[in-house]
Amino acid sequence: MRLWLKFSRRDSLSFISHLDAHRAYYRLFRRAGLPLAYSQGFNPHPVLSLASPLPLGFISRADYLDVELSQDMDLVEISDRIRSSSGGDALRLLDGTAIEGRVKALAGMLSFARYSIELAGDEVRATQACQAFSAAEVALFTKQTKSRVLQLDAKELVRELTCHENVINAVLSLGESRVFRPDELLAVMADVAGCRLDSRSITREELYIGDNTLHTPLEWAKLERG
Amino acid sequence: MIPAEISALLTKVYKPSRYAGGEVNMVMKPPAPGLLRVALAFPDVYEVGMSHLGLKILYKVINEQSDFAAERVFAPWPDMGDLMRDAGLQLYGLETYTPLCQFDVVGFTLQYELSYTNILYMLDLAGIPMRASQRSESDPLIIAGGPCAFNVEPMADYFDCVALGEGEEVILELLACLKANQGAGRAEKLAALSQIEGLYVPSLYEASYNDDGSFARITGKGPLPIEKRLIKELGDSHIPIDPVVPYIDVVHDRVMLEAFRGCTRGCRFCQAGMIYRPVRETPPEVLLSAAQRAIASTGYEEVALTSLSTMDYSAIGELLPVLVESLSCQGVNVSLPSLRVDSFSVQMAAEVVKMRKSGLTLAPEAGSQRLRDVINKQVTAQDLLTALQGARQLGFKSAKLYFMIGLPTETYDDLAELVQLVEQAARILPVTVSTSSFVPKSHTPFQWEPQFSIYELEQRQSYLKSAFRRNRQVKYNYHEAGVSFFEAVFSKGDRRLGAVIEEAYRRGCKFDGWSEYFDYTKWQDAFMSAGIDPTYYANRRIPQESPLPWDHLSAGLDKGFLKREWQLALLGRPTLDCSMDLCSACGVCPGLTVMPHTVRRRQA
Ligand code: SF4
């Protein structure tokens, strides 16, 4: 059976790589006695993938796992077992759903991510930087990918930008070759506003599917079921 | 929660998880009145320390007691060490982020001579005075244990107390004694500890030297000699079934089940084989049940059957298939870290690596039959070739072969035979040959032997290098001779070396076991400025009648046995394994009232 599970992850689990996070989840499932399905082929591996990598040091309230078990189980039972095997509260299961029918890999469907960025400076600076960015016509920046250097307009990659006290709330593109990270946003905003912006902490709050209307993966799955 | 001053550094360092704590199965005991707190300190980076079985065992036995708490601390990689210094952050335990200086006890693992500077580095980062004599009543007690404790003399100035032998019982006795003496002063506590069997309080003793500079004797107020401790029977309580599971890849990232302790094959260069006698096996049903519980508590994908020579486990033939079967349905592999050079081992290995037939590692140790007789490695060239042939049939694609060069009496004839043997092996399977240089160790029949000079070792390495150059089936690696040289210096050192270690640390030496940090010149300079000649320790033959700086630190071995073994070595005569054959009267069993303990009689 296939599942989409939503976890939160913080503390020590914020400081590990994408690969290490996968291993942490494999081991969680084995402790919980939940049988992962294995891929076919010469080098079989568990069918489990984290929908979107979490940059080192970020807190996540939206770690989505797209995972397949080798047998059908009750969802409540699954979540009970996961909760009692998580080992502390740095990793917590928040929600989840079974996925039926032909659905693409979640990783390939994501379009946007919502972040909250707590700034180390004062509120005034945060507000000014948001206003300056919103007022700007374009906000060009260069991004180095594995193969080439891209020249992009940050304005096109930001769907929402608000500010409350010293916390910036931003919905940023996650689309293929258009991934915009919150630390990149801060750099661009600092550039536009002509001030320094340092973050105290960055939290990924949610991931979305869709271009016009955004849905969280679990909302999307519910709509899909009809 | 990770304190803000720590997490502020974590985004700036390589592999921050090393310093974050919070792993699965971590035991967190907040400070409470009456709670005695121990920091288990491993003087190397997290990934190495987290692979160490001894640390897992001590962590378990201490934390099982309600009055005691154990935390872990590892040597911060220099990137983190520098940032901590700049930020004024002191070295802390990973469980509660408490600074080390607030613990009651800090206990170092002494696994490798070249980690000594890291001990000073860690004390320094913790703001604890390095020398025992400089510590005040409020400083933690700095203790140590592990194989290098058997010649801890070069580090004697830095430790308040050292435990000899297996630590799980004596650590609890030590803590209970501290608890009973809680109001007492430091000196009083140390005097009380010195009365516990297996504990050595270096400050109670003094070393003296002859006019020619040679070691004369140790005298002191404590008991002499200090005898090692050992566990007479291994059972369930000695297996850490819920070890801390790291989030990052560590060197040995798996469940470790100790199939047995001790090895009496009797290789004459091997310190572990000498100091951990006799053989004591864990019953197979204990291993099987522990494997299941450990997987349920850790979620690991691999279980290793560990020991100094796992294939010698007397019930391996029955245990292994059952273990493999019982774990495979959960997607868990079994691994065997040490193989014997024979076809039986290869078959067993094939059984457990069904899914990933990568490579096979075998250690014939010496290239010629003559030299293998000298070191009592009872393996023939034919054994090796047959094992490799079997391996090829079973689908192995390559093999790694380990040899030691510079063994006592080695000549170029022996090296020529080594080359020949490797060439024969390479006709069966492609091989990677690794050589390390022989390091004479205390408490072995070769403790009186000199090490070849660095120059001579390097000559022998280049001889092999050029011999293998044209053979495309052979890859050749070797350990840096300068590293082996300092290993020899410290494994046969005395108290006078303490000053050199501090000098080397002041000059910037740390992580000396890592080739990117080992700095031969800095070490040379440190010896120069201390006015000590390191070759005196590494390259001199010690007369057998001379007292040795480690004579008072007893592994239970009779010195007569070691001398006898040395003579047999020169004659190339074998000594049989007492877990399969007759007792060779090493002295351990009568001295410590213990017996070899195997599930059934081992077969030669
Ligand atoms: S005393 Fe005899 S039986 Fe015991 S370890 Fe030594 S050689 Fe083996």
- For chain A, the maximum distance between any two Cα atoms, rounded to a whole number of angstroms, is 58
Tell me how far CA of residue B46 lies from CA of A220, B73, B75, B248, B252, in angstroms: 42, 8, 7, 10, 11
- For residue A41 the two structure tokens come to 């082929």
pLDDT on residue B261? 96
Residue A226 has pLDDT above 80, yes or no: no
pLDDT on residue B353? 60
Closest by Cα among B267, B263, B264 to B374: B267
Residue A35 is assigned to a structural domain of this protein: yes
Which pLDDT band holds residue B331 (cuts at 50, 70, 90)?
A: confident
Residue A25 has pLDDT above 70, yes or no: yes
pLDDT on residue B440? 98
Which pLDDT band holds residue A195 (cuts at 50, 70, 90)?
A: confident
Contacts of A35 in chain B (CB under 8 A): 330
List pLDDT tens digits, range A89-131.
899 999 999 999 899 999 999 999 999 999 987 778 889 899 9
Q: What is the mean pLDDT of residues B6-18?
A: 95
- Atom number, ligand 1, closest to the C-alpha of residue B594: 4
Please check whether residues B85 and B127 belong to one and the same domain: yes
Beta partners for residue B20, in sequence order: none
- For residue B109 the two structure tokens come to 């693992």
Contacts of A15 in chain B (CB under 8 A): 10, 16-17, 20
Contacts of A29 in chain B (CB under 8 A): 299
Please check whether residues A94 and A154 belong to one and the same domain: no
- Name which of A44-53, B214-223, B343-352, B357-366 the model is least confident about: B343-352
Q: CB distance A16–B17 less than 8 Å?
A: yes
Residue A116: give its domain's CATH number.
3.30.70
Chain B closest-CA separation from residue A202 CA (Å): 12
Please check whether residues A8 and A68 belong to one and the same domain: yes
Residue B21 is assigned to a structural domain of this protein: yes
Give kind and range of the element (H or E) at residue B365: strand B359-365
pLDDT on residue B355? 39
Chain B CB within 8 Å of residue A15 CB? yes
Chain B closest-CA separation from residue A57 CA (Å): 6
pLDDT on residue B358? 62
User: What's the predicted TM-score (pTM) here?
Assistant: 0.95
Domain that holds residue B180: 4-163+170-227
Q: What is the mean pLDDT of residues B157-181?
A: 97
**Average confidence score pLDDT of chain B:** 95
Residue whose CB lies within 8 A of the most ligand 1 atoms, among B554, B589, B601, for a mutation test = B589
Please check whether residues B248 and B297 belong to one and the same domain: yes
List pLDDT tens digits, range B497-536.
999 999 999 999 999 999 999 999 999 999 999 999 999 9
- With beta carbons less than 8 A apart as the criterion, state whether B436 and B482 touch: no
- For residue B425 the two structure tokens come to 């092996």
Domain that holds residue A102: 2-108
Residue whose CB lies within 8 A of the most ligand 1 atoms, among B443, B586, B598, B601, for a mutation test = B586
Amino acid letter for position B257: L
Residue B333 is assigned to a structural domain of this protein: yes
Which pLDDT band holds residue B549 (cuts at 50, 70, 90)?
A: very high
- With beta carbons less than 8 A apart as the criterion, state whether B54 and B170 touch: no
**Angstrom distance (rounded) from CA B512 to CA B264:** 31
List pLDDT tens digits, range B234-248.
999 999 999 999 999
- With beta carbons less than 8 A apart as the criterion, state whether B485 and B534 touch: yes
Residue B381 is assigned to a structural domain of this protein: no
Q: What is the mean pLDDT of residues A147-174?
A: 92
Nearest CA in chain B to A41: B355
Please check whether residues B130 and B239 belong to one and the same domain: no
Contacts of A46 in chain B (CB under 8 A): 331
Q: Whose CA is nearest to atom 6 of ligand 1?
A: B586
pLDDT on residue B200? 98
**How many residues are given for chain A?**
226
List pLDDT tens digits, range B570-603.
999 999 999 998 999 999 999 999 999 999 988 8
Domains contained in chain A, number: 2
Please check whether residues B179 and B64 belong to one and the same domain: yes
Phi-psi region of B489 (alpha: psi -120 to 50; beta: other; left: phi over 0): alpha
Ligand 1 pocket, residue B578 CB under 6 Å: yes
**Angstrom distance (rounded) from CA B525 to CA B245:** 41
List pLDDT tens digits, range B337-381.
878 888 778 777 777 765 345 678 899 999 999 999 999 999 999
- With beta carbons less than 8 A apart as the criterion, state whether B420 and B468 touch: no
Ligand 1 pocket, residue B262 CB under 6 Å: no
